[in-house]
Amino acid sequence: MKIVFLEPLGLTVDAIESACATLKAAGHEIVVYPDRNPQENIKRAEGADIVVESNMPLRKDFLDACPKLKMLSIAFTGLDHIDMEECRRRGITVMNAAGYSTEAVAEETICMMIGLYRHVIENDKITRSCKGPSMAPGREIAGKTVGIIGMGAIGQRTALLAQAFGCKVIAWNRTPRQMAGVKFVDKSTLLKESDIVALHIALNDETRNFLTAKDFAMMKPSAVVVNAARGPVVNTDDLATALKNGVIAGAALDVYDGEPPLKADNPLLTAPNTMLLPHIGFATKEAFQLRLGIVVNNIENKLEVSS
C-alpha cells in the first residue's frame, strides 16, 4: 500500500522513514513530504491508500480526489478538522494520536496560569523599554481555586500539577468521574468559585460556545480564563467584551476559532490582560516523537504488521 505523510510532523524525513522501517520491510511504499503545504495536499495524496497528517482540514473535496483511500492516521488528538461523516460513509478508517500531548498541554496550561498571574509579558515589555525599575506586580497561584472544565487525561494531569503548586482544584465533567483531592461540581458552581478556569473539553455541538457572556458574568472580577482546548468552546466576542469591561481579569489562549495567524480584526488582539499563543500546546520535541510512534503503530495495527 502507498502510505503518504503530507507533512513531516515536526520531525525530519529520516526520523519518519526510520520509524516506518517495519512497514517498508513488509513491502509498503512510504512517501514523506519535507514541508507543510495545505494547498498541495490533494496533489500529494494522489494514489494514496493511507494518509498521515496533523491538523490540516481534510474535507469532501480531498476525499473525492483520493478514491483509493482506506485510512487517515491523524497525528493530532482532535478530529474536528476531518469530515468524519463522509469518512464513515466511504468506509475510511480514521484514527487519532490520543495521549501524545497530555504532558505538553498540561504543562502549558500551568505556564499560562503563572504567566497571567505574574504579568510575564507586561514585565518583559517593561524591561525591554529600558526606562527604569517600574514593574507590574503579580499574584501567586498557590492557594487559589482552579476550576477545570473537562477531566479527560489532560484535565487530570493539569489537576495534579495544579495541586503540586498548592492550588485547590474543583472540576466539571460531562460524565461522572472521581479523582483524589478534586471536588466535582456543576458548571455554575465552578464558575462562581474559581480564581482560574481552565478548559480541557473537546469541541462538539454541545460544547461550542460553552462559555459566553452569561457565564463570564457569574465569575469573580478577579478570575482568569485559560483555554488550551479548542477555540470555539469560548465565544470570542463575548470574551473580548468581558475583558474590556472588566467583567473578568484576564485570559490566556492557545486556541482560537480558526488556526493562527489571527485576522487583524480579531477582538482579542485589543483586549487587555491577555496572553495569546500560536497554538503550541502540543508542540514539544517529546510529544512529537511520541505521536510519531502512535501514528505508525496505528497503521501497523490496521495493516496487521508486527514491529
Q: Give tens-digit pLDDT for 260-299.
A: 999 999 999 999 999 999 999 999 999 999 999 999 999 9
The catalytic residues are 230, 259, 279
Q: CA 116 → CA 63, 78, 95, 212, distances in Å?
A: 42, 26, 35, 21
pLDDT tens string 76-102: 988 989 999 999 999 999 999 999 999
Distance CA 111, CA 150 (A): 18
Global pTM?
0.91
Below-70 pLDDT ranges, the chain: 307
Angle between helix 102-117 and 153-164 (nearest 10)? 50
Q: What is the pLDDT of residue 307?
A: 63
Q: How many contiguous H segments (helices) and E segments (strands) does the chain have?
A: 12, 12
CB 127 within 8 A of CB 106: no
Domains of the chain: 2-100+284-303 (3.40.50.720), 102-276 (3.40.50.720)
Report the C-alpha gap between 174 and 166 in whole angstroms.
26
Q: DSSP strand E in 18-130: where?
A: 29-32, 50-53, 71-74, 93-95
* C-alpha dihedral, 281 to 285 to 287 to 290, nearest 10°: 170
